[in-house]
Amino acid sequence: MDDDLQMAWDTALVRAYFETPNKNTGRVIFDFKTKNNIESWDTFNALKRVPRYTRQSRCVITRYVYAYLPNIAKALTAHGPSKMIDLILAVNKSKNDTHSWPQDKQKVEKESYDRKQSRLQAAAATLSLVNSYEAGAKTSGGGQWKIVK
C-alpha cells in the first residue's frame, strides 16, 4: 500500500506542477488526502517529497518544487509535460526527499528585506505628505479656508 500511495503522491505532484502551476501546495495536499481517503497526518508524512513544514505548504506548487525539490524541478523543466508519465515514474524511483530550507534562501531573504524597506519608505513618504498638509493648513489660518478666499 505504501508504494501505491507514494506513486499516487508523485503523480499528484507532477500533475499539479504541469496542469495547475499556481495552485497552492496546501490545496494539492487536501485534494490528495481526500481522493486517497487519508485521515492521518502520520500516514501522509511517511511519504517522500511531501511538505514537512507550514511554510512549505503555503506556497504555490511550482515554488514548492523549485525550492524544496530542486533535482526534480530540473528534470520537470528539461522534459516538459509531453513526457509526464515517464517523469512520474522517474520521480517515483528517485531517492530525493524534501529539503528543509529553500535552495534560494539568501535570495528570498533579500527580496523580503527589500519589500519591507519599500513599505517603510512608502509609509515615510505618506507621513511627510500628511505633515506638510497639516503645516500648510496651520499657516493658512488653521484650516479656516474662508480667510484664504
Q: Is residue 42 one of the residues assigned to a domain? A: yes
Say if residue 7 is in the same domain as residue 79.
yes
pLDDT bin (cut points 50, 70, 90) of residue 22 is: very high
Owning domain of residue 127: 105-141
Distance, CA of 5 to CA of 60 (rounded, Å)? 22
Say if residue 21 is in the same domain as residue 86.
yes
Least confident residue range of 15-24, 53-62, 67-76, 124-133 = 124-133
Say if residue 67 is in the same domain as residue 122.
no
Distance, CA of 6 to CA of 85 (rounded, Å)? 15
Phi, psi of 38 (to 5 degrees): -95, 120
Looking at the structure of the chain, the number of domains it has is 2
pLDDT digits (tens, 9 = 90+) for 32-52: 999 999 988 888 888 888 888
pLDDT digits (tens, 9 = 90+) for 84-139: 777 777 777 777 767 666 666 777 777 778 889 999 999 888 888 777 766 665 55
Say if residue 84 is in the same domain as residue 24.
yes
Say if residue 67 is in the same domain as residue 112.
no
DSSP type of residue 83: G
pLDDT at 28 exceeding the cut of 90: yes
Phi, psi of 24 (to 5 degrees): -65, 135
pLDDT at 23 exceeding the cut of 90: yes
Tell me what pLDDT residue 32 has.
Answer: 93
